[in-house]
């Protein structure tokens, strides 16, 4: 799984990124549940990265680094951000409130943390 595949929602190990057909009928998006845990939750990238008991532990080092970087940049704390914005940052987007002149620095700093996280997630989800 590459960051590109995850960002473009074209990765087969995340249920909402795949098309499922049973009896020539396409499964509804809401029926694509996580196959890794027993929470009966939609298997989207947000669940896989932040919520799934099977894989959420992988994000801890990355989130720790992002908390520090957001604080140093004078941004809202990680815990105050909505989940959608947390996922956006994990997938390489700068926070909307970050001044444009700091986007490149944040991207260069976080990319070295994000790519190994995505690689670890890939390894875990493929086993």
Per-10-residue mean pLDDT of the chain, 127 residues long, equals: 48 55 63 80 81 88 92 93 91 88 88 83 76
Q: What is the number of domains present in the chain? A: 1
pLDDT of residue 70: 92
Measured distance CA(86)–CA(101) in Å, rounded: 21
Contact assessment for residue 120 and residue 58, using Cβ atoms and an 8 Å cutoff: yes
Closest CA to 13 of 2, 25, 24: 2
As beta bridge partners, residue 33 has 42
Looking at residue 92, what DSSP letter applies?
T
pLDDT of residue 2: 52
As beta bridge partners, residue 22 has 25
- What is the domain extent for residue 26? 3-125
pLDDT of residue 1: 42
Closest CA to 111 of 88, 84, 92: 92
> What pTM does this model have?
0.75
Closest CA to 63 of 44, 76, 47, 79: 79
């Amino acid at each position: 799984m590459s960051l590109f595949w995850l960002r473009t929602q074209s990765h087969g190990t995340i249920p909402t990124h795949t098309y499922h057909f049973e009896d020539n009928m396409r499964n509804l998006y809401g029926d694509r549940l996580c196959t890794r845990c027993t929470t009966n939750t939609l298997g989207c990238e947000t669940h896989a990265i932040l919520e799934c008991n099977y894989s959420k532990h992988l994000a801890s080092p990355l989130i720790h680094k992002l908390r520090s970087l957001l604080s140093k940049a004078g941004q809202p704390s990680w815990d105050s951000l909505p989940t959608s914005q947390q996922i956006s940052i994990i997938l390489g987007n700068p926070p909307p409130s970050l001044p444009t002149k700091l986007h490149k620095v944040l991207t260069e700093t976080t990319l070295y943390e994000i790519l190994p996280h995505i690689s670890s997630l890939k390894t875990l989800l493929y086993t």
